[in-house]
Amino acid sequence: MENQKLIAHIAWLFAKKSGLEIKDLMQEAEIAYFEAMRTYDKDKARISTYVWNCISNRLTSYWKEMSVPVAEDITEVEVETTTEFSMDGLIPEAQEIVSILLSKADELDIPDWEQKRIRKTYQKKVRTKLAGILSAMGWSKEKIMIGFNNLQVLYSN
């Protein structure tokens, strides 16, 4: 296979972020590569760019199917206090983040999330504060990101 190093690199990046098995991600990446080769048009894009996009899209879908996230921001997670919140599908890191988030809500100064404008303004601030708390508790950056990612995928709109 021509682009084996590229395929392995993309799979490794996803394994690092998701905690999924590298073997499974490599298989998915190789399938995506072969599918990409059938539809590749050299006049439209460089092969490495096209392959990267095709593999990344497939691995993102696979990651979501496995209930393990791809995330940008934990504060996009909406938990209504009037409904029952379920931790089903959350990995242990995400469960612990939710517990900490709920126990330290006052310290994090979380605004009324019903107002979208306020939510967008504060989401990075809250995430940064929460990451600081987790870091002070001895969490690695990788562990924090894995927990945030799981929450984002499962509870994003």
Residue 144: which residues within 8 A CB-CB, separation 6 or more?
93, 97, 131, 134, 135
Tens-place pLDDT, residues 61-96: 888 777 544 444 444 444 444 344 566 667 788 788
**d(C-alpha 45, C-alpha 144), whole Å:** 35
Distance CA 59, CA 114 (A): 33
Question: Any idea what DSSP says for residue 89?
Answer: T
Can you give the pLDDT at residue 35?
Answer: 93
Q: Sign of the CA dihedral 157, 126, 139, 141? A: positive
Annotate 9-34 with b (16+ C-beta within 10 A) or e (fewer).
ebbeebbebbbbeeeebbebbbebbe
- Residue ranges covered by each domain of the chain: 4-65, 74-155
| Chain segment 4-33, per-residue pLDDT in tens | 898 999 998 888 877 788 899 999 999 999
Q: What is the pTM of this model?
A: 0.47
Give the CA angle between residues 97, 101, 105 to the nearest 5°: 170
| pLDDT at position 1 over 50 | yes
What is the rounded CA–CA span in Å between residue 38 and residue 7?
A: 16
| Percent of the chain clearing pLDDT 90 (strictly above) | 14
> What residue type is assigned to position 66 of the chain?
M
pLDDT at 54 over 80: yes
Q: Please, which residues have CB within 8 angstroms of residue 107's CB and are 6 or more apart in sequence?
A: 129, 133
Which of 79, 81, 61 lies closest to 70 in space, CA to CA? Answer: 61
